[in-house]
């Protein structure tokens, strides 16, 4: 079966790590790896892997011969506002790796089955991908959450300049996504860039302000969603004990990366990439199913005409 023809815009750590994940995917094929600098480490790696590269940025995807069906935009929030319009005009689906929030928020473990029908999908932020599944699961069994605090820690070398430049969008998109998925209006978000050695894994601490006490339903709901996320983010794990503290419930999520292009401690980069690959593969499978059904219908028409 034909693989889904996809492209990557942005050749930094996010884009290059995505490329390596796509290469081993049974559903995706990278037909263009585009940026601005053919001498960047990502471009050099792509060439070594035999991938079609371009230094024409967004313009690379205007070539009809690429037959590109979907592009991962791994640039910046500011750039994606412009890129989204171009992709729309070209009829190319976009998976936005930035916190621009042009398209539909996507957490594969929550709305993956419906997000595939959207022309532009936003992967929110690393902190959002780490925290929202757990918050969502708990919001289903805790009716009186008044506030949520999300505090993520990531190693200094895993936080790129685009994240720092767009930090306000990082905070606002994460909070907005929590509200959308979980119905909680009062959300605070923080990201701590940790310079310590050895490099720490990504860790996200979550506090839910609620009078509800810990009970078996809470633990079961949390366990179920953690296992669901682990299907596409193997290094996603609940660490320590879920605790009832004064004013609410606290828990911590650690993410260890696969170590494809970025180091394993950069789970913050790995989780958003794994989530993006998961939704792209889900779309590819959906497209494959539709193609098979159309071919069967044509075959039936031919047999009985």
Neighbouring residues of 206: CB distance < 8 A, sequence distance ≥ 6: 131, 134, 135, 148, 149, 150, 151, 250, 251, 252, 253
Largest separation between any pair of C-alpha atoms in the chain? 73
* Helix (H) or strand (E) segment spanning residue 249: strand 248-255
Per-position b or e across 171-183, b if 16+ CB within 10 A of its CB = bbbbbbbbebbbe
Q: How far apart, in whole angstroms, are the C-alpha atoms of residue 244 and residue 247?
A: 8
140, 141, 143, 146: CA torsion to nearest 10: -80
The one catalytic residue in 30, 32, 106, 126 is 126
Catalytic residue check, 126: yes
Sign of CA dihedral 282, 262, 127, 222: positive
Show the tokens assigned to 169: 């969008």
User: 249 forms bridges with which residues in the sheet?
Assistant: 208, 244
- The residues assigned a catalytic role are 126
């Amino acid at each position: 079966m034909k693989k889904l023809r996809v492209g990557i815009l942005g050749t930094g750590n996010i884009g290059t790590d995505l490329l390596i994940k796509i290469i081993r995917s049974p559903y995706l094929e990278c037909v263009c790896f585009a940026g601005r600098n053919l001498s960047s480490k990502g471009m050099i790696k792509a060439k070594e892997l035999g991938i079609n590269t371009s230094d024409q940025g967004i313009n690379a995807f205007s070539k009809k011969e690429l037959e590109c069906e979907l592009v991962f935009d791994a640039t910046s929030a500011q750039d994606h506002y412009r890129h989204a319009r171009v992709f729309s005009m070209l009829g190319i689906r976009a998976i936005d790796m930035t916190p621009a929030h042009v398209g539909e928020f996507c957490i594969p473990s929550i709305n993956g089955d419906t997000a595939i029908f959207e022309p532009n999908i936003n992967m929110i932020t690393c902190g959002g991908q780490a925290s929202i599944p757990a918050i969502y699961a708990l919001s289903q069994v805790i009716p009186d959450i008044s506030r949520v605090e999300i505090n993520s820690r990531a190693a200094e070398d895993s936080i790129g300049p685009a994240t720092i430049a767009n930090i306000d969008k990082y905070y606002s998109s994460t909070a907005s996504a929590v509200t959308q998925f979980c119905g909680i209006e009062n959300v605070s978000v923080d990201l701590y860039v940790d310079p310590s050695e050895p490099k720490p894994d990504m860790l996200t601490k979550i506090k839910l302000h609620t009078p509800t006490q810990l009970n078996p339903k809470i633990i079961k709901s949390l366990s179920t969603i953690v296992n669901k996320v682990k299907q596409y983010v193997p290094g996603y794990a609940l660490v320590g004990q879920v605790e009832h503290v004064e004013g609410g419930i606290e828990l911590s999520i650690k993410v260890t990366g696969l170590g494809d292009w970025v180091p394993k401690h950069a789970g913050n980069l790995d989780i958003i990439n794994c989530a993006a690959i998961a939704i792209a593969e889900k779309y590819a499978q959906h497209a494959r199913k539709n193609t098979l059904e159309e071919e069967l219908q044509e075959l039936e028409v031919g047999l009985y005409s």
